[in-house]
A and B are shown apart, each in its own frame.
Chain A
Amino acid sequence: MRLRDTPEEAAFRAGLRAWLAEHVPRYRGGTAPGEWTKALHAAGYSGLTWPVAYGGRGLPPTYQGIYAEESALAGAPDHVNVIGLGMVGPTVVSHGTPEQQKRFLEPILSGEFVFCQGFSEPDAGSDLAAVRTRAVAAADGWRVTGEKVWSSYAHQADWCLLLARTQPGSTAHTGLTCLLVDMRSPGVRVLPLRQSTGDSDFNQIVLTDVPVPRDCVLGPVGEGWRIAMTTLAHERGTFGITLTARLAVEFDRLLRTVHDLGLAGDPAVRAEVAELHVQLQGLRWTGHRTMAALARTGKPGPESSILKLHWSITNQRLAAFALRLLGPAAMLHGPDSHAAGHWQHLRLRSRANSIEGGTSEILRGIIAERVLGLPRTR
């Protein structure tokens, strides 16, 4: 056990911090898709843990953790290729053919291919195995028809990792296949959806007889469920560190708000601040334990399932507390409001934290069943 950076890690952290300090502001707001990824790639900060053969740097997971912390602290943009780098890339590393690895991995790293994830459908959210979008075999590959929803960044994406039913009449986990779909193919329509915050970061994707060549099937035909689970494991596992690092930044902002409002001496405020800090520290160090397990075993340990679940609870608690601090001023939003409505926005946005990437109910079910070994719930 060693809870400090090694000299190599410390040097990497210092270099990264200096680089971020110089480069982050240029990309704030209105970044073109992939722009930030390109900058990261050029500086050697993309694909830190990916194999060298695929353009990565082959570093241990710790370095990804350091990157997550430092980029959050520096206020680096929530770049659009988070799905490509964090989820699709690792899935292609595990399940792609050599040709696919050659074709997709470098461009994901360089920001040339921005990815979105087309799993959810109007009738298949928590019950993802209820996917109905169907892919029908054609001479040159597959033809896809159906509808996806809540696809983050689909409006800016070049490619979509899509889950479709390839075996007619199949149900549940069987007969599904993962496809890499070019978003510029004929028959793809992206309709932006507006979130409760007023932002439009997610979309509906309507697919009408979209051609998908045979070499764009990821993993074996009919085994899409297994492939999708790899993607979700990455979404829920390693991403936890990034989420926690961002939460730490929000917490610092909260401390500033407490001072700005002259509430630093209020005993009730002090108690809640300290409670939130303990929650956050618990998450932070559990994230580091998860990373150590990942480094040793190659897969996220059971602790990882709790990161996303508890992060959403803590983020929501923090946002709610911040608005309480504002008192009646919380009713305003926009330029007249404290910090231009940052807390109002976070309060609305954080409500989706316990929905996106698997709802809290689904995650509790996973913990109960797979970690605690309780009987399956229905």
Chain B
Amino acid sequence: MDFALTDEQRDLSAAAARLLADRYPVERVAGLADTGGVDPDTWPHLRRQGWCDPELGMVEKGLLAQEGGYALAATPWWSTVGLAHPIHRAAGRELTTDPLTVAWQDDPAGGGCRAARHGDRWRLTGRRALVTDATAATALVVAADTDDGVALFAVRSPAAGLAVEAQPTLDRLRGAARLRLADTPGELLVAPGSAERVLADARRHAGTLLACEAVGVARRALELARRHAGDRVQFGRPIGAYQAVAHRLADSYVTLELATSLALRACWLHGAGDTAPAEVAHAHAEAVVAGRRAAVSACEDALQVTGGLGATWEYPLHWWYRRALWLDSFDTPTGAHLATLADHLLTTPPQPAGRPAG
């Protein structure tokens, strides 16, 4: 067993960090958030650096996701590579570098999405909501009901009868949109029967990358707090010299490291061909639970350590906090992940000298 990054992986990570540090200084992050959170300029740089390469391994993608979370990169990379690519791959499509996203969630205001067949063409009608990065996407994967069950369709954006309405979001750097489709042409990507599994796999792929992103968010929050604790002087000493502050940050580091291990492990298992599906699913649940916790608590610890400054709009920490809250609520709730694990752990009593689970 060797749970260490290779030199190539380290280099990739470092190059990604440099690119993003260059493109996303803190002021720019705040500026982008104030103007709708879309950065049209960075995509070509990501492409050039190979962020969308079809050959990219899962651990490599996880490292890029970490850096994305650290920098709060305002690009549709995650929805493209994390969500849409696995579906395109399953559909036997060539993976391009067009920004993409996937729409499968029902609009809480009501109304699903149906697809009807007209000869060999399909048309989609209805709504999808909470569609991440939809305004930046040039094509969408849309889940719609057919007479034989859910299928996945490719829809161009813009397209006839398609309206993409931005929804106001807590995390302004990762926009959501509502799609309204009225007889919109779609191309069948994955037929009913396999679509449900393909979508679930894609969500797991994307979710594992979000666990990595969460680790990046936590790392940045800790970094901001660490720096502040070294600089800010109260009662004649830097506040980091007080144990109440130092120990809080030490705990934050512990939580971050544990989550990092689980996120990288989930990536590795996801990428390893010979892993049992259940093992991948459990590692995924563990990584997501630990990642969300780490991101939220690192931001909250950092907010405490930065005092009144941290409570202002101008101090940038809340942008990472907002991302942490987005991560905490996106897709499958933490309670459902815990339930998955409990099912696995408590189905049968373990043998007296049992192997540790997982």
Contact = CB atoms under 8 A, between A and B. Distances in A.
Interface of A: 1-6, 9, 62, 65, 69, 73-75, 245, 248-249, 251-252, 255-256, 258-260, 264, 270-271, 273-275, 277-286, 288-289, 291-293, 295-296, 303, 306, 309-310, 361, 363-365, 367-369, 371-378
> Most chain-B CB neighbours within 10 Å: which of A264, A364, A376?
A364
Contacts of A303: 257, 261
Contact of A270 (B230, B342, B354, B358): B342
A274 B345 contact: yes
B226 A373 contact: yes
A91 B5 CA distance: 29
Contact of B286 (A2, A260, A281): A281
Contacts of B31: none
Interface residues of B, number: 57
B250 A367 contact: yes
Given A282-B261, A293-B4, A306 B356 contact: no
5 contacts: A255-B357, A273-B345, A291-B3, A372-B249, A375-B237
A338 to B, nearest CB: 15
Contacts of B240: 368, 374-375
Interface stretch (B35-43, B157-165, B193-201, B264-272): B264-272
Contact of B4 (A1, A73, A361): A1
A9 B1 CA distance: 8
B346 interface: yes
B339 A270 contact: yes
B214 to A, nearest CB: 13
A174 B2 CA distance: 39
B155 to A, nearest CB: 38
Nearest to B348: A259
Given A282-B262, A286-B261, A277 B345 contact: yes
Contact of A249 (B262, B338, B356): B356
A274 B341 CA distance: 6
A334 B247 CA distance: 38
B345 A255 contact: yes
A251 B356 contact: yes
B330 interface: no
Question: Which 8 A-B pairs give the minimum distances between C-beta atoms?
Answer: A282-B258, A248-B356, A270-B342, A292-B4, A368-B246, A374-B240, A285-B261, A274-B338
A292 B261 CA distance: 12
Nearest to B256: A306
A58 to B, nearest CB: 18
Contacts of A296: 4
B289 interface: yes
A372 B258 contact: no
> Per DSSP, are chain B's interface residues mostly helix, strand or loop, or mixed?
helix
Interface in B204-256: 222, 226, 229-230, 237-238, 240-243, 245-247, 249-251, 253-254
B356 A364 contact: no
B258 A306 contact: yes
B355 A73 contact: yes
B253 A281 contact: no
Given A282-B259, A306-B253, A367-B254, A289 B3 contact: yes
Nearest to B283: A281
B349 interface: yes
A246 B253 CA distance: 24
Contacts of B345: 255, 273-274, 277
Interface in B43-98: 59
B344 to A, nearest CB: 9
Given A4-B272, A281-B358, A375-B238, 14 more contacts: A1-B3, A1-B59, A1-B268, A3-B265, A274-B338, A277-B357, A288-B3, A289-B3, A289-B260, A361-B247, A367-B254, A372-B249, A374-B249, A376-B241
A372 B341 contact: no
Contacts of A289: 3-4, 260-261, 264
Contacts of B5: 1
A160 to B, nearest CB: 32
Interface in B23-43: none
Contacts of A273: 341-342, 345-346
A71 B245 CA distance: 39
Contacts of A284: 356
Contacts of B3: 1, 3, 285, 288-289, 291-292
A306 B269 CA distance: 24
Contacts of A373: 226, 230
A271 B335 contact: yes
A315 B339 CA distance: 22
A255 B346 contact: yes
B349 A2 contact: no
Contacts of A372: 222, 226, 246, 249-250, 253
A275 B338 contact: yes
Contacts of A248: 356
Contacts of A2: 1-2
A286 B257 contact: yes
Nearest to A6: B1
B108 to A, nearest CB: 25
B253 A371 contact: yes
